[in-house]
């Protein structure tokens, strides 16, 4: 199948591309490299360095490569920046997404997988969160993703679009080839690893007075390979469930301090901690119920343990201490 992967040079997108290639799909990647890396796109994929809002390029790609399926990862994703510059998030995550959908319609492509987020839920009313939980985002990032989910539902009813939304919890870990190397890193595990490697002086904990077991935020961490696996399963699932929403998480929550201790155990390195203020838009607890994905997709995480996730990330960062600058 000819599959267009937007944001395919980014962390999750590049690993999904890796898995799609192993399934013998023909993969075309478009990424503006704002956060992604050219080196993260495997040579077997066709690559275009451009923004998904470029209508002329998109039409050329659809025409040249006869695109049959879209996996959409391209987005602005940093929560704290979304609170200070929401317009940028709505432009990239909503407006540019509509451009992509309308060009799909023009070329009679009706299959779409959307990279959404647990931030769509906002503050949990109960734990674990399932797909029936009320959606009340508390940051512009989550709001922009939820807006686009609503747009997909309307396109399904009006135009016959088949789509699956994946609401990720905290993606982490690495494959043997590919890992996490954001240009503006905000994710906890790689930041702790950088502190363990003395690339950062310390790891800052944003808030220690949450109503949790140790005062720090609790999150559900899921291996990026397990996220990629769900996308592969969704290719066939679209015919059975053409407008479905799925959580992707492990169902286990770990506090920031627990993750720090896990990284220290795996790396056998000391990590200096600095306690800071809460970040605006951060819920205290986010833990997933993935029962629906397991039942309908036949999906089960292959790497359910935090230690497995951290160990894979540590191996990749140890092999490529400068990230994709070291990649060959």
pLDDT recorded at residue 284: 86
Phi, psi of 213 (to 5 degrees): -65, -30
Domain boundary among 201, 231, 248: 248
Residue 178 domain flag: no
Instruction: Evaluate if residue 31 carries a pLDDT over 70.
Output: yes
Residue 134 domain flag: yes
CATH number at residue 300: 3.90.25.10
Whether residue 258 is found in the same domain as residue 314: yes
Taking residues 32-42, what's their average pLDDT?
93
Lowest mean pLDDT among 39-43, 138-142, 144-148: 138-142
Residue 181 domain flag: no
Instruction: Evaluate if residue 326 carries a pLDDT over 80.
Output: no
Whether residue 233 is found in the same domain as residue 320: no
141 is catalytic: yes
Residue 241 domain flag: yes
Residue 145 domain flag: yes
Bridge partner residues of 69 (DSSP): 3
Residue 179 domain flag: no
pLDDT digits (tens, 9 = 90+) for 250-270: 988 999 999 999 999 999 999
Whether residue 238 is found in the same domain as residue 261: no
Confidence of residue 184 (pLDDT cuts 50, 70, 90): confident
Instruction: Evaluate if residue 7 carries a pLDDT over 80.
Output: yes
Whether residue 151 is found in the same domain as residue 64: yes
Residue 106 domain flag: yes
pLDDT recorded at residue 74: 92
Whether residue 242 is found in the same domain as residue 256: no
Give the HSE-up count for residue 101: Cα atoms under 13 Å, Cβ half-sphere. Answer: 24
Instruction: Evaluate if residue 41 carries a pLDDT over 90.
Output: yes
Q: Give the chain's mean pLDDT.
A: 93
Domain of 307, in residue numbers: 188-219+251-325
Q: In the structure encoding, which two tokens stand for residue 241, read together?
A: 């469930």
Instruction: Evaluate if residue 293 carries a pLDDT over 70.
Output: yes
Give the whole-angstrom CA distance, residue 232 versus residue 14: 14
pLDDT recorded at residue 325: 85
Whether residue 242 is found in the same domain as residue 97: yes
Whether residue 163 is found in the same domain as residue 195: no
Give the whole-angstrom CA distance, residue 38 versus residue 310: 25
Confidence of residue 182 (pLDDT cuts 50, 70, 90): confident
**Structural domain count of the chain:** 2
Give the whole-angstrom CA distance, residue 140 versus residue 163: 23
Residue 182 domain flag: no
Whether residue 139 is found in the same domain as residue 207: no
Taking residues 78-91, what's their average pLDDT?
72
Task: State whether residue 215 is helix, strand or coil.
Answer: coil
Taking residues 35-59, what's their average pLDDT?
95
Give the whole-angstrom CA distance, residue 224 versus residue 175: 8
CATH number at residue 97: 3.40.50.720
Whether residue 83 is found in the same domain as residue 231: yes
Confidence of residue 42 (pLDDT cuts 50, 70, 90): very high
Catalytic residue among 11, 48, 141, 163: 141
Instruction: Evaluate if residue 83 carries a pLDDT over 80.
Output: no
**What DSSP state is assigned to residue 70?**
E
- The owner of tokens 């969160």 is 129
Whether residue 29 is found in the same domain as residue 156: yes
Q: Are 202 and 272 in contact (CB under 8 A)?
A: yes
pLDDT recorded at residue 286: 87
Whether residue 258 is found in the same domain as residue 291: yes
Confidence of residue 138 (pLDDT cuts 50, 70, 90): confident
Whether residue 14 is found in the same domain as residue 92: yes
pLDDT digits (tens, 9 = 90+) for 216-233: 999 999 999 999 999 999
């Amino acid at each position: 199948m000819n599959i267009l992967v937007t944001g395919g040079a980014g962390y999750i997108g590049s690993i999904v591309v890796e898995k799609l290639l192993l399934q013998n799909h023909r993969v075309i990647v478009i990424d503006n490299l704002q956060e992604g890396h050219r080196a993260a796109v495997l040579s077997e994929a066709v690559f275009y360095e451009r923004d998904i809002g470029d209508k002329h390029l998109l039409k050329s790609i659809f025409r040249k490569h006869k695109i049959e399926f879209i996996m959409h990862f391209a987005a602005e994703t940093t929560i704290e920046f979304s609170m200070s510059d929401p317009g940028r998030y709505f432009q990239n995550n909503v407006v540019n997404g509509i451009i992509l959908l309308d060009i799909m319609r023009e070329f009679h492509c009706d299959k779409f997988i959307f990279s959404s987020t647990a931030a769509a839920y906002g503050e949990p009313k109960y734990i674990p969160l399932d797909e029936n939980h009320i959606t009340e985002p508390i940051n512009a990032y989550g709001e922009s993703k939820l807006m686009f989910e609503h747009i997909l539902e309307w396109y399904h009813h009006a135009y016959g679009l088949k789509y699956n939304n994946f609401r990720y919890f905290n993606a982490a870990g690495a494959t043997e080839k590919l890992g996490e190397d954001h240009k503006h890193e905000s994710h906890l595990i790689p930041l702790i690893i950088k502190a363990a490697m003395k690339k950062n002086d310390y790891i800052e904990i944003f808030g220690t007075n949450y109503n949790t077991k140790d005062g720090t935020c609790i999150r559900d961490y899921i291996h990026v390979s397990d996220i990629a696996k769900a996308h592969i399963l969704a290719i066939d699932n679209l015919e059975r469930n053409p407008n479905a929403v799925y959580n992707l998480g492990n169902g286990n929550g770990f506090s920031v301090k627990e993750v720090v201790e896990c990284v220290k155990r795996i790396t056998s390195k000391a990590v200096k901690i600095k306690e800071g203020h809460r970040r605006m838009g951060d819920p205290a607890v986010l833990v997933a119920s993935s029962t629906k994905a397991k039942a309908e997709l036949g999906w089960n995480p292959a790497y359910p343990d935090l230690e497995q996730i951290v160990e894979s990330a540590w191996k990749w960062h140890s092999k490529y201490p400068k990230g994709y600058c070291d990649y060959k």
